[in-house]
Structures are given as structure tokens and as C-alpha cells.
Amino acid sequence: MATKNEKIALDKIARLGCILCSEVLGIEGSPSELHHVRRFGAKRITSPILPLCPEHHRGNDGLHGLGVKGFERKYEISCEELLERVSQKLGKDDK
């Protein structure tokens, strides 16, 4: 169950749009789905989230289609790096 604060946070992440499109491919305004990154041994409460468009999330060229390793190789960026970008963008939007 997500708390109200968590929902607000998720909403903000979703509104960033696809992080791969905007940061790596230079395409702004892609829609996004939330992908929960699983870190081995990480506490569930800190489970990080990547906003990805349907193609880059579930498509053949996406994280689930390629697998994490294949995805990172194809786009030459790691999921950790993408998570960094997400938090940078979130920070920027904070007023």
C-alpha cells in the first residue's frame, strides 16, 4: 500500500516522462510507465523507480525485452546512472 507521500513522489517521477528518451535519445515528452528497479538485498522502502515509455519498458528494445544487461549495453548507460538522472531532474523541479 502506497502512502499519500509515496503517491505524490510516484506522480512526480511519472511526470518526468521516459528517462531514456529524454536523457539518452534527446526525445522529450515521452509517456512513462514506472519500472521498479530491484536491487539485491536492498530495503524495499528504497526500491528505486525508473520512468520508461512503454517501448523502453516492455518493448523489444526495452528493459524487460532486452534484460538489464542487454539494455545497459545497447544504450551505453547503466540503470544506476539513469536513476541518478531521475533524482537530478526531481531535484530541479522542486520549488
d(CA 61, CA 14): 20
- Binders of Zn ion among 26-65, rule CB under 5 A? 30, 35, 53, 56
Rounded distance, CA 15 to CA 28, Å? 11
89 contacts Zn ion (rule: CB under 5 A): no
From 13, 21, 82, 86, residue interacting with Zn ion (rule: CB under 5 A)? 21
- Contact (CB, 8 A) for 14 and 7: no
In the bound complex, what is the minimum distance in angstroms from residue 95's beta carbon to Zn ion? 26
Instruction: Identify which of residues 17 and 94 has a Cβ nearer to Zn ion in the complex.
Output: 17
Instruction: Give CA–CA dist 15/13, Å, rounded.
Output: 5
Chain contacts with Zn ion (rule: CB under 5 A): 18, 20-21, 30, 35, 53, 56
